Structure 1
Amino acid sequence: MYTNELPYEINRELCRLLDYKNSWKNLAGIWMEYSPFEITYIEQTAQGQERSPTEYLLQKWGQDIHKVEELFLYLYKMKHLSALLCLKPVVRKDLHRKIIKLKKSLNTMEKENEIDNEVSLQKSSDQTNGSIRSIPWIVKQIEMGEPLPNTASLQSVSLSINYNSINFNETSSSETYGISTDEITSRHVFDIPKINYEELKEATDNWSKENLLGSGGFGQVFKGEWKHLTVAVKRLSNNHDCNKEFIREMCLNQYRHDNILPLYGYSLGGAGECILVCQYLPGGSLLHRLKSRTPTPLTWSQRYNIMLGVARGLLYLHTMKPPLIHGDIKPGNILLDGNLMPKIGDFGTATLYTKKLNHENIPKTKKLIGSWPYLPGEYLRDRTLTPAVDVFSFGVVMLEVATALPVIDQSRNQQLLLVHIKELLKEGVDMASLEDPALLGSEHASPALCHAFISIGLHCTKSMQLRPTMLDVFMELDEMEIPVDN
């Protein structure tokens, strides 16, 4: 029997079992070898059609002519006993032995777990009675006499905020950081290595100006050599906003993905100084590459791969549970390694996104976050943060990458790049003529790609209701045909 021939009742029950706790995703990703993006597509399509994602998965998989026995063996490897029992009436009798074997195995595991639970309970009791592992990070820092970022504010922080509705951008009259110290210590900070402050002073040659990579309102970034590794050391200014950024980045910039800048560790210096240590990327920022044109301008193939990588990184953030809104996507926050692979950096404005039917928990900010030329009208009006904000910002970056024009230019009639391009299109200007002047008319020019980049950029910057998701954008980019550089 083939999977698309399963009796209705059996198929319905199997879908119910695999929909529970999203077991179908393990089946799809590990055993059926669907990519994370295909799994996300299946999930979103099923939601749009108001149907079971397992049903849609089995329908899609069944198009390649698979037998029920194949599905049975995958479920056996997953140790999904209930699903095996569901399929028992429609598989060969010799496979029934696997159900018996799995039952025995699960019974043995259950007994072992009972013993482990007893041991864990004893350990938990020991920790409650004063074990060092039960002491929160903040408390340990205070007991050891080490300085904290704005310690008075941290000690008076409100503990009433739930993890599922964290908003890092609102502060109360008691100067809360938008997240409780308990949440920070138990969920996040224990996972981040603490680096000795003196090691970082030595790594940067005592904060030498020769190692200074950049500076701004947040503080300074230095290049350093630490434990035979080249790193970027972000030395934050000692003020309330930078302390908030420190905690926000500590908590949120821990997602491991090829297109996200990894955070190696943190340090606390004298007088409450906060320091973050990240991977050093020799390619600099996308902004620098678009402006400097050295050693040579980016080719279309390189521009495409950079934007595809950024789209992949944003898709990863937007499809987490709960999704993460970066909030400040712009060329300056897109960093490039030696091979021009992009990594999204600066999570200082990142926000966890929770959405309920009554929209009460959609994050709102009193203060403008991000860089306003890259922000959509709906955010500038009511400060409502959704993943669509990142999509809009991505679209503006696509326009910059295609044209190399500044995002804001006071010498233009329309100072904002997005408005400027829309005005030119109304006048009948060919989009291909807006190609980066460094490429336009040369052997490396590509009117078709310039047109495609601007089209995607304009699509991403439509009104919120018409704006695509990052999945839509990624898939559109992924399907494009790009010339290979010689």
Structure 2
Amino acid sequence: MSAGTAPSSSSSGRSGSQSNPRSIDGSGYIYTLLQDERNGVCYYLEQNSQNEERAMWEKAAEKMGYALTDIIKIKKMAQDKSVSPAEQLLRVWSDLNHTNTELFMVLYSLKLFEAMECLKNRVDVSYHRLIPKKVLKETKPNDTISTEKILNGPEMSRTSNESEFNSTSMETSSKITVDRNEIKEVANQIPKILYNELSEATNKWSKENILGRGGFGTVFKGRWKYTDVAIKKIEYKSGDMKKNAKVQMQQSLNELRYLNSCRHDNILPLYGYSVDGPEPCLVYQFMAGGSVERRLHAKTTPEPLTFIERMKIALGTARGLQYLHTYRGKKEPLIHGDIKPANILLDSSCVPRIGDFGLVREGSDELMEVSSVYGTRPYLPVEFLANRIFSTKIDTFSYGVVIFELFTALKAHDKTRGANVTLLSKYIWFKSRNNEPMAPLIDKSMDPATVSVPLYDALMKIGLACTNENNGERPEMVAVLNTLEELMDKYQ
């Protein structure tokens, strides 16, 4: 069966009718959908087929490659978790890293045009022609399908435990707007930079100065005050400008709020901000070494990272994370939420600095339940993806995946590894459970004479401890850092 067997665990069935912004991953995976978008799709999937008693979600499951036995399992899992079968189907398919475009085409094959409209802003504009113009006209821009409407649909009844989660997170109600005045209020202790100065620093935003592009803007290299800087110019390019502006401005506020307060050698310094021009801008220290992701995976890259440089990156990243988790005290950790090689930047000496604080949340010394999932799926643990359990152990898990990627140069997600081990964390655990040696996985770009195999094996064991599926078995980052420093002392 191409779709795979229904997994034994999935997301919590609790949900609310809020429309909270979450990180929009450029990969377009189904898990990036906002709650209203999921609700809309599920509502139409719960309807019965014309002249049939079968629900559309069952037909969709068949299109996804599921057999009848799998459909029965999905229905049973939905009942156990008090969610709609359509929602459970999306969760199961999402666990296999399917994309919004794939879901869009499944809906198209079923002629569920109204459901396709719910995903319109999640697929390339070239796909919009598949939605009949009549549907586009009849669908109001602000129409949403509430969670209650789905829960009261076929085969479902609302239960008492479906109240909205409470969370001290960055999420905001859709009624709340984030504007430039709020940025100014948050940034009152941060240097304000004139937009014209940044324009001059980048040679009027020259294309030659572009370091990278993201869903909400472009990062430029600039020369400001005789200092090399990286300037994030916030822009909105997709169809739903208002929604994206709200998400990005909220993330920008987080960057200002937390980067300004987190002063550490392994956390990216924020130099200032600008809001007096056509686009808001954030100004950071320029990191000449680029991202760890680029150094590991780019087709054209400087010399490969040496074993010692990778150790330096592992140590520095651990130091930065333990600082985030502890500098305000054990009861008020800051949780990064999106640790991955792309967000670990290197200076010219390969000293790492953690960047992209847009998804940072305030945690507590106890496990919390939050109302939405965000971040980058291959680096996130199952308790967060499935049950929205939020703690510092999310960062620990992500760090473990980074360790694997750093010393093997294998990608965090790779379909060629096989259906059950596409995720690097699962692949390494599969090798470990089968008592297979880890040495063959060492990145071959490193000079073998510089690699300490015993130290490498010890590092992989740290990665395994960090990616344990049981979050209670995962170490805190302070313990990880202590172990790393002991290893360095032992093998130097």
TM-score by length of 2: 0.60
Separation (CA, whole Å) in 2 of partners of 1:280 and 1:325: 24
Name the CA shift for 1:225/1:363 in 2 (closer, same or farther; >3 Å).
farther
Please state if 1:432 is matched with 2:433: no
Aligned residue number for residue 396 of structure 1: 401
Aligned residue number for residue 341 of structure 2: 331
Aligned residue number for residue 387 of structure 1: 392
SS of corresponding position for 1:190: coil
1:278 is matched with which residue: 281, 284, 300?
A: 284
Separation (CA, whole Å) in 2 of partners of 1:201 and 1:481: 45
- Residues 476-485 or 259-268, more deviating: 476-485
Cα offset, 1:355, TM superposition: 4.6
Aligned residue number for residue 200 of structure 2: 202
Aligned residue number for residue 383 of structure 2: 378
Aligned residue number for residue 464 of structure 2: 458
Separation (CA, whole Å) in 2 of partners of 1:174 and 1:199: 34
Separation (CA, whole Å) in 2 of partners of 1:198 and 1:231: 15
Aligned residue number for residue 175 of structure 2: 174
Higher helix share: 1
Aligned residue number for residue 52 of structure 2: none
The letter of the residue matching 1:415 is: T
1:416 is matched with which residue: 381, 398, 423?
A: 423
Cα offset, 1:290, TM superposition: 1.4
Q: Contact 1:233 / 1:275 at 8 angstroms: preserved in 2?
A: yes
Q: Contact 1:165 / 1:354 at 8 angstroms: preserved in 2?
A: no
Aligned residue number for residue 455 of structure 2: 449
Structure 1's unaligned 5+ residue stretches are 1-163
Q: 1:305-346 deviations in whole A, cap 9, x for unaligned?
A: 111011001111100222110110000000000111000000
Number of equivalent positions: 311
Aligned residue number for residue 405 of structure 1: 410
Structure 2's unaligned 5+ residue stretches are 1-165, 237-244
SS of corresponding position for 2:213: strand
Aligned residue number for residue 251 of structure 2: 245
Separation (CA, whole Å) in 2 of partners of 1:323 and 1:181: 27
The letter of the residue matching 2:231 is: V
TM-score by length of 1: 0.60
Which 4+ stretches in 1 moved above 4 angstroms? 179-182, 482-485
CA root-mean-square deviation: 2.5
Aligned residue number for residue 86 of structure 2: none
Larger radius of gyration: 1
Separation (CA, whole Å) in 2 of partners of 1:270 and 1:198: 8
SS of corresponding position for 1:480: helix
Separation (CA, whole Å) in 1 of partners of 2:292 and 2:361: 23
The letter of the residue matching 1:194 is: K
- The equivalences for 1:46-125 within 5 A come to none
Separation (CA, whole Å) in 2 of partners of 1:250 and 1:391: 24
SS of corresponding position for 1:276: strand
Separation (CA, whole Å) in 2 of partners of 1:194 and 1:438: 43
2:483 is matched with which residue: 469, 476, 480?
A: 476
Separation (CA, whole Å) in 1 of partners of 2:363 and 2:309: 32
Cα offset, 1:294, TM superposition: 4.3
Aligned residue number for residue 307 of structure 2: 300
Please state if 1:257 is matched with 2:264: yes
- The equivalences for 1:107-146 within 5 A come to none
Q: Contact 1:403 / 1:436 at 8 angstroms: preserved in 2?
A: yes
- By relative contact order (CA 8 Å, sep 6+), the higher-ranking structure is 2
Q: Contact 1:399 / 1:454 at 8 angstroms: preserved in 2?
A: yes
